[in-house]
Amino acid sequence: MQYFEDAREAFGDKYGLNFLDIYEQHGFLSPIVQLTCDYKYPLRYGDKALVEITYLDSPAAKLVFEYRIFRHSNGELLTTGKTVQVFTRPNGELQLTIPPFLEAWKKKWL
């Protein structure tokens, strides 16, 4: 879902967890391995949305985010969701332990 992706990018830019930097500076990809989305009400053409993203800490080597999408005009909750991302090397090798850069990020922001 595009709104979720936009929220992850904005979160990464604001809190120093940019996914392009994760690859270029640390050598990891972070593919989404799970996505859930519960639609409650539609966003109609011309409506503006407000997306709230929350990082959920995990002891595992993964990134977990929850999302809530609201209609901007009246604050009505439209959609909830969650994504789980893991870390892999470019060759597809799964990172089983928390990468050092993520440990440092957690110490700074959590």
Predicted confidence (pLDDT) per residue in 6-32, tens digit: 999 999 999 999 999 999 999 999 999
Which tokens belong to 79?
Answer: 């959609």
Task: Calculate mean pLDDT across residues 82-110.
Answer: 96
Provide the CA 56 distance to its chain's centre, in angstroms.
10
Residue boundaries of the structural domains of the chain? 2-109
- Classify domain 2-109 at the CATH class level: alpha beta
Letter string b/e over residues 72-105, b meaning 16 or more CB atoms within 10 A of that residue's CB: eeeeeebbebbbbbbbbeeeeeebeebbebbeeb
Predicted confidence (pLDDT) per residue in 34-57, tens digit: 999 999 999 999 999 999 999 999
Model pLDDT, residue 1: 77
Cα gap 23→39, rounded to integer Å? 32
